[in-house]
Structures are given as structure tokens and as C-alpha cells.
Structure 1
Amino acid sequence: MEEEGKLKGEEAFIKTRVPPWTNQITLRSVVTSFVLSVVFIFIVCKLNFTTGIIPSLNVAAGLLGFAVIKSYTTLLSKCGLLKQPFTRQENTVIQTFVVASSGIAFSSGTGSYLIGMSPYIASQVDEGNTPINTKTLSLGWMFGFLFVVSFVGLFSIVPLRKLMILKYKLTYPSGTATALLVNSLHTPKGAKLAKKQVALLFKSFCGSFTFAFFQWFFTAGDGCGFSTFPTFGLKAYSKRFYFDFSSTYVGVGMICPYLVNVSLLLGAIISWGILWPWIEHKKGIWYSAELSASSLSGIQGYRVFTAIAMMLGDGLYHCIIMLIRVACNLTSQYLMAKGSSSFVMPEDVDQNSSDDNFDTQRRTEYFLKDEIPSWVALTGFVVLAVISIITVSHIFPQLKWYHVLIAYLIAPVLAFCNAYGCGLTDWSLASNYGKVAIIIFSSWVGLAKGGIIAGLASCGVMMSIVSTASDLMQDFKTGYLTLASPRSMFMSQVLGTATGCFVSPLIFWFFHNAYTIGDPQGSYPAPYGEVYRGVALIGAKGFSYLPKHCLQLAIVFFVLAVFINIVRDLLEHYETKYRIYRFVPNPMALAIPFYLGGYFAIDMCIGSLILFLWEKKNKQKSKDYAPALASGLICGDSLWSVPAAILSLAGANPPICMKFLSAAVNKKVDTFLSGGS
């Protein structure tokens, strides 16, 4: 047993039988995957409705799937009832299912383009708040829309799996990391570590859930509770600088890179600490003092459109660079294959005894064993695209059938570029392609004919294809490294996508009925709803309605985002001694606090600080256990949303309001109360 634990790569599993693909997808794996999918969709929805920052949940999905099935199979084995052992292929199927369903929770747009269509968000934006440019949210059309657009991307990329995985040998860092985790869990040493990780995850989950429950008792009104604690004083609190005791974002901060968290804090300081106070002094000069705080013609316009400008600058830069990089890599691959007769494709590996070649031979054999015929993929794409064209144009009359057709002609090319780029850099640009689609189609249709709804709907079509295509290729890479069949990967992706299309709207509706989604001052501001609608408004109407100097400010931040990216790429390429590029901020992370403030950035920086101190004390332990601790914090705090929402729907209110007042205001309150008595 100990000798087996020391073997590397596929040698550790040489005596383990690989089940056929039909046995890799089992009833127990589907049931487990569905339960975990509901949990993860709740988490993604809550993150969507708060800040929109979604960390990678692959590790948590793989670890929880292992823990649940392993516990179940161990119990059956002791009772003598175990018919099929738990394999790494089945573990991969569970992870793929869960990640696919939670991916739909993000790309479904319930926290971005779909919520941006609602009359509530439109009323905040003011401009374009007309019946033809709004759509009342309902479960019926949301189910229909998601089911017809979410599967097309799966069929668009299937024929290219051998090209991406075997010929170009793309790394897909997240897919590779997940495969290494799954392979490790199914060795004796990995299973022992997994038990400790699961124990820590359970403890942090219980602690996070209990603390969220405790906080609920003090939230009997607006502005009440621990989440309004003025950590740095009331003045800083008014500028949205405070620690809001969110276990979720402390956990997210432990998963996200240090640079992202520091960039968020820097963006909050630049915007809420310097820029917005300066612009507020221009009230009555640059914009009317009579406007509401949420009007895009006032201070909110500067907040939203500078953030949009930075996001678009960062997104367009990465899109262009990615397209150039894909073209250069494809060209070099072609020239290498054409110009060198000795160039060896991965399919034609040498027959020698090295570990790498043994692993490659074995993995390639199983990867090619269960073919998915190209005609199936092509037929599926065409049939689903036709159904989608008819259905989408019916759900959104503003978006004509020929608009959707053009989107489906462009989308496969972008899906390939995104999947290829994701394989090189682990960076999915689905949301960026979606924003580009918004601008193109909203300007094509025009404001008077419903350009805002047309742009947002086209974003959903584009994002669904591009996102699911890259996710599927990540899963193919994971399956390649764990010997999971491409057919089982594809089927689990289909099942996960179907689950996401069904459960995501239900959970959104649950939140929608219990809370006010999209309220900038509420618990669930859903910031991307207003951002995506703002992008559509720019495309449909142009810049004429923006407040004074807002356009110039937006251009400055657009150029700044591009400049920061150029500087970082140049430093990364030419400066290797001190690696200064590691300290260049991330423009997308800089932009997010422009709208929301710095409270969640402080949470995430505290998560980074915990991880940093842990690494200083014991780097290996932090590497082994930090993801489990972070996942437990995220799961516990996020899942408290379920009983909290049920209590809210049932009319059960918290008994206490804990609110913080300045000394002067408190004195006035005491005087009023004593006078009233």
C-alpha cells in the first residue's frame, strides 16, 4: 500500500480497472452531483447578487464530491453491499456536473444581463425606461431562454477536442489542477489528506453558518447589524470603507490571488477616497443638485460609466491580445508541422519506457477510445441553433431572427478563440465577448425599437455559447488526465447544464421574492445589472445623455486600463529579474469598487492576510488546507441565505436592531426620547 502511494502518474493506477463510460455515470454520482449543484448554485447566486466576483469552485466541488461518495461507499462496503467501487472517473463526472451547473448560474445572467432587463433596474437608470426597453422577469420565459441557448455551445466545440488536447497540448490550468487533485485523492496518501481537509471544511462551514445565524438577530431594520459596523469610523463608513463581517468574502479572498484583492482595495481608495468626493463638490455645476442619488445623470453616472469604461478597456485589450495570440500559436503550429518532417504530433508518441510517454500513451488511448462522432456534434449544433433562433426571437421581439442568426454565425469562432485562449492562460473572456455583443446589437436595433433589450438578449446568446464551450474543453482536459471517457464528460456536462438551467432561475426567484435584488443600498445590489444595462444604453443611444465631463472621464479610464495591461505585459516579457509585473494592478479588479465601494475589498484583503500569515508559519499546511477552510467559510455563510430568506417570506423578523450613531446624533435621540416620555 505504501509502495503504491509512492508511484507517480498513471503507474499508481496501473492495477486499477478503468470502467466503461456507461459505468462512470452512476445513479449515486448523479444524485450526489444534483445535491451539490443546488448548494453551489446558491453560492454563485449570492455572489452574483452582492459583488459579482466568483472564485474558482473546482477544488471544492472535487473535494466535496469525493467526501460524499467515499463516505457512502465506505458504509456500504462495511455492510457488504458495495457493488461498484468509487473511481477517479466517477469523481471527475461529479466535479464536471457540479461545475457545469454552477457555471450556468453565472452565464444565465440572473445577476447581470437578465436582471438588467427588469423595470426595477430600468427605473434606477432612468434613460431608456420605456416598455419596449424593459421586460418583466418571470420563470416561464427564463426557463425557455436558458434551455435553448445553453446547450448550443457544447456542440460547437466537441469536434475540436482532439485538436485542442492532443495536437496543441493546451494546458488548461484549472482543468489540469482539478485532475491532479482527483488523481491525488484516489491514492492512499491523498485519501488520508482528504479526510483531514473535509473535517476542516465541515468545521469552518458550521462556524460560518452559526455566525451568520447569530448576526441575523441584530438586523431588524435598514442599516442594522454587524454588516454596518463602522470599523474605521463613521466618516469612512459613509464612504463605504468598513469590514462587514462577511465570512463569504473572507473565504473568497483566501482563494483569489493577492494581486486581485489588493487591486480591489486600491480601486476603492482611488474612487471613494479621492475621485467621488472631488466630483461631489461639483454638484450643481456638473450635474443638477435636484437629482436622486441613483440617477445616471448625477453622481451615479460617473460611478457606473467610469467602471464600465475600465471594464471595456480591459476586456477589449484581452480580446484583441487573445485573438493575436491564438493566431500566432496556430500559425507556428502549422509552420512547425509543415516545415519539419521530424515534428512529432502527440498522437504519435515514441514507444519508450519514460514515465511521461507511458502516461501519454495510456491517456491518449482512453481519450480516443470513446469517440463522439463529428456528425452528431454538427447536427446537434444546427438543430439547437434553429430552435434557438425561433425561440429567442419570440421571447424577445426586439431581437429579430436574423440578429440571432448572425450571432450564431459569429459565436463558434469566438467560442474556439475563447477555448483556445483559456487553454493557454486559464482566462475565460466570455463576459467580455458578451459586452461587445451588447454594443453591436443594441446600436444595430436602436433605442426607439428596443435596442437595450436586444443588446442584453444577444449578450445572453453570446455568453452562453462562449462560456460553455471553454468549460467543456476544460472538462475534456480533466477527463484526459484522469482517464475519464469523453462521452461521460460530455454527458455529465449536459446533465449539469440542464440542472443549471432549471435550478438557477428557481433560486433567483427565491431571492427575488425574499429580497429586493438590484437595490444599490440593499443587501443584494446586483451591481452588474446596472452595469450591463449601462453598456446597452451606450450602444443604443450613444454618449449624449451623460452628465458633464463624464465622457472625458470614461475615456481617461478606458485608456488607463489599456495602458496598465500594456505595461504589465511588457514587464512580464522583458523584466525577469525582479518580476515587477506581479505588482501591477488588475484593471478589472480596480473597476469593480468604483460602483460598490471598498467594504468587500476589505473582507477579501483580510482573507489574503490570513493566508499570508499562514504561509509564513507553515507553507505546506496552508497549501493543503487553505482551500478547504475557504470553501467552508463560503458555503456556510452563503447557505444561511436559504433559512434567512424562508424566515423573511414567512414574516419572521429579527428581534434586535443594532445601529451605530455619532455622539451628536445619539444625544439628539436621547433628548427626543426623554422629552417624549
Structure 2
Amino acid sequence: MAPDRGYRPVAASSEARESLQSRPEDAAQLLAARADEPQNFTLRGILVGTVIGVVILFSNTYFGLQTGWISGMSMPSALLGFAYFKTVSRWIGFPFTPVENVLVQSVSGAVGSMPLACGFVGVFPALNFLLTADENGPLRVGMFKLIVWALGVAFFGVIFAVPLRRQVIIREKLKFPGGTATALMISVLHNDSGDAKIISQTTAKNDPDGNASDGLAGFSSPEMPTVEEPDAGDGNQADWRAKIKFLLSAFAGSALYTLVTYFVPQIRDVPIFGMSLAQNWLWTLNPSPAYVGQGIIMGPATTLHMLLGAILGWGILSPLAKYQGWAPGSVGDWETGSKGWIVWVSLAIMLADSLVGLGWLALRPIVLYGPELASDIYGLFQRHDWKEVIMLKTRLNPGYLAVDGSEDAETPVSLKFAATEEEEADAPAEHLISNRTTLIGLLLSLVLCMGAVHYCFGKLMPVSLTLLSLFMALFLSVMGVRALGETDINPVSGISKITQLLFAFIVPRGDKNAIIINLLAGAISESGALQAGDLMQDLKTGHLLGAAPNAQFYGQLIGSTVGAVVSAVVYKLYTDVYTIPNSLFQVPTAYVWVFTARLVTGQGLPPAVSEWAIGAGLIFAATTAFRTWARAGGKSRQKFLNFVPGGIAVAVGMYNTPSFTLARAVGGVLSWYWTRGKGRSETKLVVLASGLILGEGLLSIVNLCLASLKVPHL
């Protein structure tokens, strides 16, 4: 699934709001000064970011194989980087600055997201373990080929994001709420050094308080996050020592729990609703500290929507399918049981959500501005105003459309596109990525990807189809970046499903490799969209803080290289030591991938599932349409977002067993109680969640070693 990038924003402090409203004339000076700082690209920043990223990578592989959901961890990465350098500040030669923190979180994010970007939590488990002999599987792929594949898909999305930066960040000033929240946190963390200004984004002119007007992640209040303002001097140092101790305590507690679960695996499935529901219907609780931490980061709305999915899937549809004879096998069986039956319904929900969301993103300019624009163009032709017609190309930019209602009613829409403020101030030219570098890098990365796919799957995936999948990936990456910039959701799962659907019309159904081609094409699209979105989110953070874009770009490339190799090795270790799938690593996303491929290539569906899937798809198409309409409006509409379930969240809760969803719901409720009920700062919760997630993720390595040595359970 898509990495979680939405950190629930609540009301910002007045100081933080003021920092977001620096005068435009100061922005260019601040950008130039910070972009010239030597700390933009440092060896220590690369190393610390890599170490943090590797820890996140282990966590994401471990949790991704369990539930298919990974966390981007941008804010925790910035927090961990700051905590480390704060601890060793007396021994380092020069101060740790905001722009260096941007580098740290960019590198760590690139490393940590590779398990999803390379398909090691979804596509490869499907290829390696779930394909039947009729589908020309299962495939056995060695370590070296896994590394070659990972390096092949690791770069083209990163490089393709570069030319999009000026359009979506500098011209249209899309908010990228997760990146903006990370920038605000970094700014506040470094406030004691007097270097905490954030470049203003002038698009939020409708809101006198300087708050962004779009909802975040569809589950959020439209405000910026609350963070604690550190005190200056020794008090701040003592405060951060306390936070570091808190982080280490959470890490230690989670690590201890993980070690205990190896020897007593029964504690992963606590029958909180009685033994009958636990044994017959899989209603148990996994009291994992890490899943509670993930719930904290996801927030109450997302986790409660996932809980709704669990209730619909495992509380209603599963018993119904069992008693009606539609899924006669054991409830936990993917092939004949209700577990496999309800995944088709969740798949329909995901497809409906993705098609409506991405469809609106593609058609919105035409729907909103098409009729009036066509009328204006027709009028210009009637008046033979050829100069104005020629100039239309430079004016058709929706990001420049004035929205305050102050335009002259008689002004043609073509002129309204050109109205409003000037472009955002940008970094000096020497700190941008040149067009030549971008073009050469993009060509090389595309050739590398084609070569890697041919080397690993040459007899199964024709070169022509690899090239087609790459072009589709680039096109769909634009939609993913725009969706992330506007809603804080990068719909990579939906993008991959759309690619699978399109390839079903391209590859003949009689082709014995149709399923494999379908999976590989979807994996390439998902990788490109994920990497492009991750870099753009980080570039937004860097722009707000004045970091040099080329330093972030090269940091991302380094992180992607390390992450590709390490993620391939870690995936191979897990699959060699554990039997996949099993009760711990259920690889639900792999089943979603292979079921999608089977669906679009014309294989049969279980009894009665088509009616329920179509009905669920229509319902959640309507909810997605409503959420899209609400996000496009003001606060009067956005207040309903939390009460209308999102399709992706419901689908995840439906295809995961309840044990994982219940733990995340606990974290979401805890987050709500702390930030809304108690009105406390979110910073301490981020510290807690980071420790809980990383403690279990890192100690999973110890459990992996114990399993490889065949140490017995108690």
C-alpha cells in the first residue's frame, strides 16, 4: 500500500503561523543564503540519513510482509536526526542546520521506502509464492537478480520528478501537506539557533491566518501541525534529553515485546472477544506496540475507517459468505475461505476509489474551465484576435487562476488563468538540477530499467512491453504527484491497478505469461509514482526551508541506491528463513496483486462475489466523489471529511485480519485523546510512535536470526 504521509495537522501555534508568512521579498534572500550553506550536502548527513533509513527499511519490510502497509516516516526521520546531532553537539565541528536536517530526512526516506518501491512487499511475494503452474509460476528469483531488478526500478521516478518541481512547487505552489508539516517541525526544532524561518507560500491568500485551505490526506483538519516551541538555552537542552530518554524507553519496550513474541508467539493473537470468535472468525488482537505507533501516526480518522472496513469484512461479509456457501472452506483460507472471498470486495473498493480520484484529477481542468475557455477561444477567433490565441499557451495554468472572486466578470477565463501573483522565489540557478543532467539521467535510468527487466525476466516480459510500461509509469506519476500535492495521498496502489487494467487490454488473454506481465507492469508503475511523489514531497520541505534542490536530488539517488540493494537482501533473508505466506507474514498485498491480475485477465470469480463487489464499488465511488467535492471546498465542506470513509482505508481494514486493525485503532484513539481531548502537543506522540515502530522493526532482525538458527519456541 501507499506509504503513510499524512500526519494529522491540528492548530498551529501563533509563532509557527508567523513563520509561514515571511514577506515575499525576504524569500529570495533566504533561499540564496541557505542554498549556499555548506551543510546542504554533507557526508555526515548522508551517513546518518542512511542509518536511519536502513532501520526504517527493516521495519517496512517486516510490517509490509505482514499487512502491506509501510510508513514514509519523514517527520520521525527529521526528529531522529535532530535528536542524534543534539546529543553529540559538543563533539561535532559545525552546527546541525535545518538544510542538513532536510538532507537527512530525504536520504532516510529514500532508503526506507524501497521495500514498496521495488515490489518486495507485494509483487515479488506474488510472483515467488502465489502463482500457479498454469500461470507459469511460481518464479524463483535469486539474490543477484533481485538486486539487479531493484536497481533497475530505483531511479527513473526520482529523475522524472525533477522537471515537475518548477510547475507544481514554484508555479502552482501545491501544498504537499506532509512536506509542509515536516518543514514546520524542522523549523521549530531548530528555532533555538535563530534559523527557523520558513519560506511563505503565497497561495493561501484566502485565509487571513495563513493556514492552508485544502484538507490534508482526506482525514485531517486543514490546519498546520501543533509542535512544541523549544525554550532557549539549557532548558531546551534538558527538554531534548528528556525526549531522547522517552524515545529510547519506547524503543526498548517495543524491542523487548518483539523478543518475547519469538518465544511466546501466542501473544500475537489475543482472543479479546472470546475463543469462539477468535478460532472461528479470526477476531483477535495483536497487541503490537509498533501497530499502536502506526495508528498514532495515521491518526484517528484513518484508523477508524480501517476499523469500519474490518467490521464490514470480518463481522458481516465473512459470516455471510460462509453461511451462504459462497466460501465453504476454512475462514482463513485465501482460495476457498471467506478470507479470500472478501478480498475481492476490498479490491473493488480500491479500484473504485482510485478510478474516481485519479479520473477527477485528470478531468478537473476540463470540467471546471473547459466550457468557458472554449467560449472565449471561439470569441477570439470570431474577432480574429490571433495574437491573443497564440498567447493562450502561456496562460493555461490552473495554478494561476485567481480564486478570491475579485476578477472582472467580463475578463475572459483565458486572462483569468494568467491573473494573480508572480512565481514563487526559487533557489539560485547553480543549486538547481540542470536540464542536461535531467535529460541524460532520465534516458540512462530508462535504459537501466529496461536492461534490468530484460535480464531478470527476458523470456517472460518482452522489451516492447517494458518500454510501454515505463511510458505509462511516467504519465501516471504526474497524476500521483499532483494527488500528493493536493491531498497528501500518493495513490500508488490505485495507479498500479490502473496499469494492470490497461495491460489486460494489451496482452492477449491466451498468453501464458499474461499474469506475470501484468504484475511486472504494475510494479514498474507503482515504483515510478512512489519515487516521484517521495522526492517531490521532500523537495517541498526543502523549498520551504531554503535547501538546495540539487543536494536533495543527489541525496535521494544515494539513498535509493543503498535502499535498493539492502531491501533486496532483507527480502531474500525473510523469504529464505520463513515459509511465506504464514500466520505472521500473511502478505495480503501479494494476494491483492495476483487477484487483480486474474480478474483483469478474465479468470473466474468466486460465487456471488461479483454482485457484492459491484455494489461496494458503487458505494465507495460515491463516497470518494463526495470526499473529492469536500476537499475542493472551504472549511464548511471539509468538516465532513472525517465522517465519510475513504475507500483505501476501508479496503485495507477489510483485507487485513482484525488483529492488526484493532491495534492501529488503539493508536488512533490515543492520538485523538492526546491532541484533541487533552490539547497537548503532537511532538511527544511522534517521539513515542517512532520508538515503538523502530523498536519492533529493528528487533525483528534478532527474531530473523533466531528463526534461521531454528531456536525453539516455548
Q: Give 1:17 shift.
A: 6.4
Listed one character per residue, the Cα deviations across residues 332-386 of structure 1 (whole Å, up to 9, x for unaligned) are 3466695169835533xxxxxxxxxxxx6xxx35354413211221122123213
Q: 1:212 to 1:17 in 2, by over 3 A?
A: same
In 1, Cα distance between the equivalents of 2:668 and 2:16?
33
Matched position secondary structure for 2:690: helix
Matched position secondary structure for 1:576: helix
Q: Give 1:48 shift.
A: 0.6
In 2, Cα distance between the equivalents of 1:295 and 1:66?
45
Q: What amino acid does structure 1 have at the position aligned with 2:344?
A: F
Match of 1:209 among 255, 265, 268: 255
Contact 1:312 1:432 in 2 (8 A): yes
In 1, Cα distance between the equivalents of 2:314 and 2:464?
44
Contact 2:365 2:398 in 1 (8 A): no
Is 1:464–2:527 an aligned residue pair? yes
Matched position secondary structure for 1:74: coil
Q: What amino acid does structure 1 have at the position aligned with 2:350?
A: M
Match of 1:636 among 695, 698, 703: 695
Match of 1:277 among 314, 319, 326: 319
Is 1:449–2:512 an aligned residue pair? yes
Contact 2:35 2:428 in 1 (8 A): no
Listed one character per residue, the Cα deviations across residues 39-93 of structure 1 (whole Å, up to 9, x for unaligned) are 00011112211112234411110010111223233234xxxxx2x3221111110
Is 1:200–2:276 an aligned residue pair? no
Matched position secondary structure for 2:494: helix
Runs (5+) with no aligned partner, structure 1: 77-81, 123-127, 220-224, 348-359, 657-677
Is 1:245–2:311 an aligned residue pair? no
Contact 1:232 1:241 in 2 (8 A): yes
Aligned to 1:147: 151
Q: 1:290 to 1:593 in 2, by over 3 A?
A: closer
Q: What amino acid does structure 1 have at the position aligned with 2:252?
A: C
In 1, Cα distance between the equivalents of 2:329 and 2:648?
32
Q: 1:468 to 1:346 in 2, by over 3 A?
A: farther
Q: What amino acid does structure 1 have at the position aligned with 2:600?
A: G
Aligned to 2:3: none
Contact 2:31 2:426 in 1 (8 A): no
Aligned to 1:312: 351
Aligned to 1:419: 481
In 1, Cα distance between the equivalents of 2:537 and 2:329?
52
Q: 1:475 to 1:176 in 2, by over 3 A?
A: same
Q: Give 1:94 shift.
A: 0.6
Aligned to 1:515: 578
Aligned to 1:663: none
Please list, as runs of the form range in 1=range in 2, the aligned pairs for 1:98-497 lying within 5 A after superposition.
98-118=108-128, 120-122=129-131, 128-130=132-134, 132-188=136-192, 189-190=229-230, 192=236, 194-219=240-265, 225-238=266-279, 239-283=281-325, 286=326, 294=333, 296=335, 299-325=338-364, 331-333=397-399, 339=415, 343=419, 345-347=421-423, 364=425, 366=427, 368-396=429-457, 397-445=459-507, 446=509, 448-497=511-560
In 2, Cα distance between the equivalents of 1:73 and 1:44?
30
Listed one character per residue, the Cα deviations across residues 85-104 of structure 1 (whole Å, up to 9, x for unaligned) are 22111111010000111122
Q: Give 1:294 shift.
A: 3.1
Please list, as runs of the form range in 1=range in 2, the aligned pairs for 1:30-69 lying within 5 A after superposition.
30-69=46-85
In 2, Cα distance between the equivalents of 1:617 and 1:421?
31
In 2, Cα distance between the equivalents of 1:373 and 1:585?
43
Matched position secondary structure for 2:427: helix
In 2, Cα distance between the equivalents of 1:15 and 1:103?
28
Q: Give 1:252 shift.
A: 0.9
In 2, Cα distance between the equivalents of 1:577 and 1:506?
47
Aligned to 1:650: 709
More helix by proportion, 1 or 2?
A: 1
Q: Give 1:518 shift.
A: 2.2
Contact 1:569 1:581 in 2 (8 A): no
Q: What amino acid does structure 1 have at the position aligned with 2:170?
A: L
Aligned to 2:585: 524
Runs (5+) with no aligned partner, structure 2: 1-14, 193-228, 370-395, 403-412
Is 1:605–2:605 an aligned residue pair? no
Listed one character per residue, the Cα deviations across residues 559-607 of structure 1 (whole Å, up to 9, x for unaligned) are 1221222344456649928933421122222222333321112111211
Listed one character per residue, the Cα deviations across residues 17-57 of structure 1 (whole Å, up to 9, x for unaligned) are 64646642222112212211110001111221111223441
Matched position secondary structure for 2:636: coil
In 1, Cα distance between the equivalents of 2:495 and 2:638?
34
Q: 1:94 to 1:516 in 2, by over 3 A?
A: same
Contact 2:114 2:567 in 1 (8 A): yes
Question: Which stretch of structure 1 is more off in the superposition, 525-534 or 384-393?
Answer: 384-393
In 2, Cα distance between the equivalents of 1:117 and 1:15?
47
Q: 1:162 to 1:205 in 2, by over 3 A?
A: same
Q: 1:241 to 1:398 in 2, by over 3 A?
A: same
In 2, Cα distance between the equivalents of 1:385 and 1:169?
29
Contact 1:326 1:421 in 2 (8 A): no
Question: Which stretch of structure 1 is more off in the superposition, 332-341 or 628-637?
Answer: 332-341
Listed one character per residue, the Cα deviations across residues 648-668 of structure 1 (whole Å, up to 9, x for unaligned) are 1112223x2xxxxxxxxxxxx
Q: 1:241 to 1:20 in 2, by over 3 A?
A: same
Matched position secondary structure for 2:511: helix
Contact 2:60 2:71 in 1 (8 A): no
Q: Give 1:6 shift.
A: 12
Contact 2:346 2:654 in 1 (8 A): yes
Matched position secondary structure for 2:433: coil
Contact 1:29 1:69 in 2 (8 A): no
Q: 1:582 to 1:561 in 2, by over 3 A?
A: same
In 1, Cα distance between the equivalents of 2:243 and 2:471?
46
TM-score by length of 2: 0.80
Q: 1:373 to 1:182 in 2, by over 3 A?
A: same
Is 1:86–2:96 an aligned residue pair? yes
In 1, Cα distance between the equivalents of 2:34 and 2:696?
39
CA RMSD, aligned part only? 3.0
Aligned to 1:552: 611
Contact 1:102 1:500 in 2 (8 A): yes
Q: What amino acid does structure 2 have at the position aligned with 1:525?
A: Q
Q: 1:214 to 1:340 in 2, by over 3 A?
A: closer
Q: How many residues align?
A: 612
Contact 2:103 2:555 in 1 (8 A): yes
Q: What amino acid does structure 1 have at the position aligned with 2:95?
A: P
Match of 1:95 among 105, 112, 137: 105
In 1, Cα distance between the equivalents of 2:569 and 2:663?
29
Identity %: 25
Q: What amino acid does structure 2 have at the position aligned with 1:121?
A: L
Q: Give 1:282 shift.
A: 2.7
Listed one character per residue, the Cα deviations across residues 469-517 of structure 1 (whole Å, up to 9, x for unaligned) are 1211111111111111011010011011111111111111222222223
In 1, Cα distance between the equivalents of 2:57 and 2:591?
22
In 2, Cα distance between the equivalents of 1:536 and 1:6?
47
Q: What amino acid does structure 1 have at the position aligned with 2:360?
A: I
Aligned to 2:674: 614
Q: Give 1:307 shift.
A: 1.6
Contact 1:147 1:498 in 2 (8 A): yes
